[in-house]
Amino acid sequence: MERVDGPDDPRVADYLRLRDPEARRDGRVFIVEGRVALERILTAGIPLRSVLLTPVRAEQLADTLRGVDTRILVADRGVLAATAGFDVHRGVLAVATRPGPVPVADVLALGDRWLVTEATADHENLGSLFRNAAGLGLSGALLDDRTADPYYRRCVRVSLGWSAALPHARVGGLETGLTGLSVAGVRTVALCPHRGRPVDEAAADGSLDGRVALVVGAEGPGLEESTIAAADDVVRIPMAGTADSLNVATALAVVATFAAARRDWS
């Protein structure tokens, strides 16, 4: 482990002003924040350029990082804050190598349930979607060209590392992308708050069984009309009282729970 005493140390250049969109970033890497996210990245086998820890976290993670081929930097919490531009209260940062693009066919070869996103531009929503997808047994994710970068720091943090670890690919525009999935034998199910069949009915008749992709849109506007028309099925979650809808990541969790329960959570 190597000691760092200030933000002007060239060894922490990757961590400078992490909230500043004007700060120059190396597009070949991404930032990992938090112990759980770091452990997920290590489990996924994604290479690290370096790790930056407070002394307490360095002691806690000594066994986890033993044998990891990367530079391990240790700095006081104040130095982390001065470097990153905010109080890194989790005390864990890392720079990881961004994986190259993955073909859609490779993601479809991994299992039989997927998340598909359209224009999901909010990084926290996207991170929550990835976390829920992983937790409920989805095999991977397909993102349209308007969906945010899953390797963005806040997305990686909220997803607990799953936005980097869960296999995913860019699928282009969904109007044609969903047609391609149908040709590949994947049933596409659009999630809409005010139209389609109730999710419990869709689950009961087997519409969430087999090879299925759950399609979600942006928080607020939802899915494009052309995307809904291209989907094989449309489902909704019935709301109680005057409630309008659920957060997009919560909606995915509800529908994916019905799908998982039908398969005994496998």
Dist CA 57 CA 37 (whole Å): 14
- What is the rounded radius of gyration, in angstroms, for the C-alpha atoms of the chain? 20
Q: Where residue 170 falls among pLDDT bands split at 50, 70, 90?
A: very high
Question: What pLDDT is attached to residue 97?
Answer: 96
Dist CA 93 CA 91 (whole Å): 7
pLDDT in tens, 66-119: 999 999 999 999 999 999 999 998 999 999 999 999 999 999 999 999 999 999
Under a CB-based contact definition with an 8 Å cutoff, are residues 179 and 82 in contact? Answer: no
Q: Where residue 266 falls among pLDDT bands split at 50, 70, 90?
A: low
State which amino acid sits at residue 129: L
Residue matched to tokens 């070869």: 109
Dist CA 55 CA 224 (whole Å): 49
Instruction: Please state the rounded mean pLDDT for residues 167-178.
Output: 89
Smallest CA-to-CA distance from 51 within 91, 99, 98, 9 is with 91
Fold category of 104-262 in CATH: Alpha/beta knot (3.40.1280)
Under a CB-based contact definition with an 8 Å cutoff, are residues 247 and 208 in contact? Answer: no
DSSP-derived secondary structure for 44-67? HT--EEEEEE-HHHHHHTHHHHTT
Question: What pLDDT is attached to residue 94?
Answer: 97
Instruction: Please state the rounded mean pLDDT for residues 136-147.
Output: 96
Residues of the chain with CATH 3.40.1280.10: 104-262
Report the b/e string of 21-41 with b at 16+ CB within 10 A.
eeeeeeeebbbbbbbebbbbb
Cα–Cα distances (Å) from 161 to 23, 188, 255, in that order, read 23, 26, 22
- Taking domain 2-97, whether its CATH number is 3.40.50.620 is answered by no
Question: What pLDDT is attached to residue 105?
Answer: 94
pLDDT in tens, 216-239: 999 888 899 999 999 999 999 998
pLDDT in tens, 12-56: 999 999 988 777 678 899 999 999 999 999 999 999 999 999 999
Question: What pLDDT is attached to residue 240?
Answer: 87
Under a CB-based contact definition with an 8 Å cutoff, are residues 114 and 138 in contact? Answer: yes
Question: What pLDDT is attached to residue 27?
Answer: 86
pTM of the model: 0.94
Residues of the chain with CATH 3.30.1330.30: 2-97
pLDDT in tens, 188-204: 999 999 889 999 999 99
Question: What pLDDT is attached to residue 24?
Answer: 67
Report the b/e string of 137-156 with b at 16+ CB within 10 A.
bbbbbbbbeebbebbbbbbb
Helix, strand, or coil (residue 72)? strand
Which is higher by pLDDT, 220 or 248? 248
User: Which run of H or E residues covers position 168?
Assistant: strand 168-170
User: Which run of H or E residues covers position 203?
Assistant: helix 199-204
17-26, 48-57, 121-130, 158-167: least confidently modelled range: 17-26
